């Protein structure tokens, strides 16, 4: 089944909205706003393709500072990021923001320490934005997008008057793609929160500070048309932005590109928490070892590796306050954790050719005996791919560091998993993993 670049990137942009705590479709709406602006600006035709992709991927580095936000502010990273974008520069507002987002759920002493730390640590915002921008640009390069797309992502938080981050670039030094994207982002965030008038006011207010006055003036013209705002509210944004898509976006993507995109999004997921660092990649590797043992075809193995890379994509929608918690989750937190398979399914099922991957994402925490989550499915409903990924997933979870315990040696992990063979895990898949690891263990030991 074929898949186009536009369909793939458009669908995956929903995963980025989740991580930013934005209303669903934020990246698509930014694409619509930015590309509409480009038409009014007579933006060079040969750069519009880059602008289109940059607008959809502007937040691709976003997950990489989530854990740090939580650590520093003891706050929910998703709410923090959402509200941070509606912040203007007045001191009372900034102070109110810091107080209201620092450690809402933490004890008073922790909250106090976090506040002191925030005020004394200096360049925290700088560090957060730098990480996000640099990681984002790196991931875009990894997905083989142009240098213009990568630089656009890198410059997203730079301001026209030089007050932005991370480099304090000024005026024309800032990537023109980033200038349009920042304006589109502010317009969408304020429009979604408070309507068209608020968006227009905010863009005008930041003209000459955040935005080139000429660009803000073009936005004022675009925003004078009621049809523009009506379009932004329409439910079919995915098809509305199609007319802006560059010609290569409608071509069927190559298998190699799909692999690169799956690997890049695995990094976005894994970068969210220090405890999941490398998890998706390792699950893909363990799944491939099992598949090789089971004699699956090369094509099947390639598909399975993508399933491993993307199985936890729904975790982008779960706060780090929960993912990194050192202790037992309470009922609400547990409910949030249990939502990640469903969120992953929703993201991946937007891509027709990823229907099988969506099934794996939805059911990788189910068990053969029906005691898994979120649906409590039983053996008959769990296909081979899901069974392989769930063995690989639990094995990696046990043998990697967790917030509440250190990594376990392989033997101990197996002795725990042994108890659940036939109940949680498929015996054939489990044996295959054991055989595969027994074969590589001497190599691992020799290398150690
Ligand atoms: Fe998971
Ligand atoms: Fe996982």
What does the alpha-carbon distance between residue 159 and residue 152 come to, in Å, rounded to a whole number?
Answer: 13
| Measured distance CA(399)–CA(409) in Å, rounded | 6
User: How many other CB atoms are found less than 10 A from the CB of residue 23?
Assistant: 13
Shortest CA distance to 215 belongs to which of 87, 36, 31, 89?
Answer: 36
* 353 CA distance to ligand 2 middle (Å): 22
Q: Is the peptide bond before 166 cis (omega within 30 degrees of 0)?
A: yes
Q: 268: phi > 0 → left, psi -120 to 50 → alpha, else beta; which? A: alpha
Both tokens of residue 79?
Answer: 């709410």
Tokens of 64: 């990489």
Looking at every residue in the chain, the average pLDDT score rounds to 87
**Continuous segment of H or E residues that includes residue 390:** helix 384-399
Ligand number with the minimum distance to the CA of 337: 1
| Number of Cβ within a 10 Å radius of residue 302 | 16
State both tokens at 408. 């376990």
Q: Which ligand is nearest to the CA of 397?
A: 2
CA 368 – ligand 2 centroid, Å: 17
Instruction: Check if the beta carbon of residue 319 is closer than 8 Å to that of residue 305.
Output: no
Nearest to 191 by CA among 23, 335, 5: 23
Name the nearest CA neighbour of 417 among 402, 404, 407, 430. 430
Q: How far is the CA of 354 from the centre of ligand 1 (A)?
A: 18
Distance of CA 70 from the midpoint of ligand 1 (Å)? 20
The structure tokens listed for 319 are 């706060």
* Structure tokens belonging to residue 346: 């929703």
What ligand has the least distance to the C-alpha of 307? 2
Alpha helices of 207-297 — where are they, by DSSP H?
Answer: 213-223, 226-233, 237-240, 255-270, 279-293
Which ligand is nearest to the Cα of residue 279, counting in written order? 2
Cα-to-centroid distance, 18 and ligand 2 (Å): 18
Q: For residue 174, what are the CA distances in angstroms to 146, 178, 189, 248?
A: 16, 7, 22, 26
pLDDT of residue 204: 96
Give backbone dihedrals phi and psi of 402, rounded to 5 degrees, phi first.
-125, 160
Name the residues annotated as catalytic: 315
How many C-beta atoms lie closer than 10 Å to residue 427's C-beta?
Answer: 12
**pLDDT tens per residue, range 80-126:** 777 766 665 555 555 566 656 655 555 555 555 555 555 545 556 66
Q: Looking at residue 1, what is its pLDDT?
A: 63
- Collapse the DSSP code of 218 into the 3-class scheme (helix H, G, I; strand E, B; otherwise coil) and give the result: helix
From the list 393, 378, 383, 391, the residue with the least C-alpha distance to 435 is 391
Q: pLDDT at position 90, please? A: 53
CA–centroid distance, 179 to ligand 2, in Å, is 37
* Sequence ranges of the chain with CATH classification 1.10.3210.10: 5-63+128-250, 255-447
Please check whether the domain covering 255-447 is classified as CATH 1.10.3210.10: yes
| Contact of 208 with 156, CB cutoff 8 Å | no
Task: Kindly give the distance from the C-alpha atom of residue 57 to the centroid of ligand 1, in angstroms, as a whole number.
Answer: 24
- Distance between CA atoms of residues 185 and 157, nearest Å: 11
Report helix, strand or coil for 303.
Answer: helix
Q: What is the CATH number of domain 5-63+128-250?
A: 1.10.3210.10
User: Cα 382 to the chain's mean position, in Å?
Assistant: 27
Cα-to-centroid distance, 283 and ligand 2 (Å): 7
Among all bound ligands, the one having the nearest atom to the CA of 316 is: 1
**What's the CA gap between 148 and 375, in Å, rounded?**
44
Q: How far is the centre of ligand 1, averaged over its atoms, from the C-alpha of 350 (Å)?
A: 19
User: Rounded to whole angstroms, how far apart are CA atoms 295 and 297?
Assistant: 7
Low-confidence ranges of the chain (pLDDT < 70): 1, 63-75, 84-128, 403, 442-448
Residue burial 236-257, b: 16+ Cβ < 10 Å; e: rest: ebbebbeebbbeebeeebeeee
What pLDDT does residue 188 have? 93
- Quote the radius of gyration of the chain (alpha carbons, Å): 23
- Which tens digit of pLDDT belongs to each residue from 371-393? 999 999 999 999 999 999 999 99
């Amino acid at each position: 089944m074929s898949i186009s670049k536009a369909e793939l990137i458009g669908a995956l942009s929903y995963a980025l909205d989740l991580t930013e705590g934005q209303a669903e479709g934020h990246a698509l709406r930014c694409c619509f706003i930015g590309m509409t602006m480009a038409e009014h600006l007579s933006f060079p035709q040969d750069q519009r393709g880059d602008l289109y992709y940059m607008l959809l991927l502007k937040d691709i580095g976003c997950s990489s500072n989530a854990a740090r936000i939580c650590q520093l502010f003891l706050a929910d990273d998703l709410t923090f990021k959402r509200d941070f974008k509606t912040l203007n520069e007045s001191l009372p507002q900034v102070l109110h923001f810091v107080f209201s987002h620092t450690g809402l759920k933490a004890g008073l002493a922790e909250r106090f320490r976090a506040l002191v730390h925030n005020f004394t640590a200096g360049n925290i915002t700088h560090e957060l934005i730098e990480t996000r921008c640099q990681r984002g640009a790196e991931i875009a390069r990894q997905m083989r997008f142009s240098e213009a797309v990568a630089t656009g992502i890198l410059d997203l938080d730079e301001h026209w008057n030089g007050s932005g981050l991370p480099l304090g670039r000024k005026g024309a030094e800032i990537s023109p793609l980033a200038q349009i994207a920042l304006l589109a982002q502010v317009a969408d965030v304020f429009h979604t929160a408070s309507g068209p008038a608020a968006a227009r006011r905010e863009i005008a207010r930041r003209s000459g500070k955040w935005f080139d006055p000429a660009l803000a003036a073009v936005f004022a013209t675009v925003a004078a048309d009621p049809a523009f705002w009506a379009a932004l509210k329409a439910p079919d944004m995915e098809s509305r932005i199609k007319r802006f898509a560059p010609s290569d976006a409608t071509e069927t993507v190559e298998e190699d590109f799909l692999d690169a995109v799956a690997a890049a999004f695995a990094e976005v997921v894994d970068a969210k928490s220090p405890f999941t660092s490398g998890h998706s990649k390792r699950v893909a590797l363990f799944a491939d070892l099992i598949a090789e043992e089971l004699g699956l075809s090369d094509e099947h193995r390639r598909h399975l590796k993508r399933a491993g890379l993307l199985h936890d994509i729904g975790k982008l929608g779960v706060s780090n306050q929960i993912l990194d918690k050192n202790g037992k989750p309470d009922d609400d937190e547990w409910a949030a954790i249990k939502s990640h398979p469903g969120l992953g399914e929703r993201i991946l099922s937007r891509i027709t050719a990823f229907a099988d991957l969506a099934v794996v994402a939805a059911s990788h925490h189910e068990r053969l005996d029906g005691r898994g989550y979120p649906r409590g499915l039983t053996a008959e409903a769990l296909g081979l791919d899901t069974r392989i990924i769930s063995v690989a997933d639990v094995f990696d979870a046990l043998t990697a560091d967790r917030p509440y315990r250190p990594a376990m040696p392989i033997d101990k992990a197996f002795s725990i998993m042994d108890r659940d063979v036939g109940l949680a895990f498929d015996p054939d898949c489990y044996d295959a993993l054991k055989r595969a690891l027994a074969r590589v263990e001497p190599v691992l030991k020799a290398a150690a």
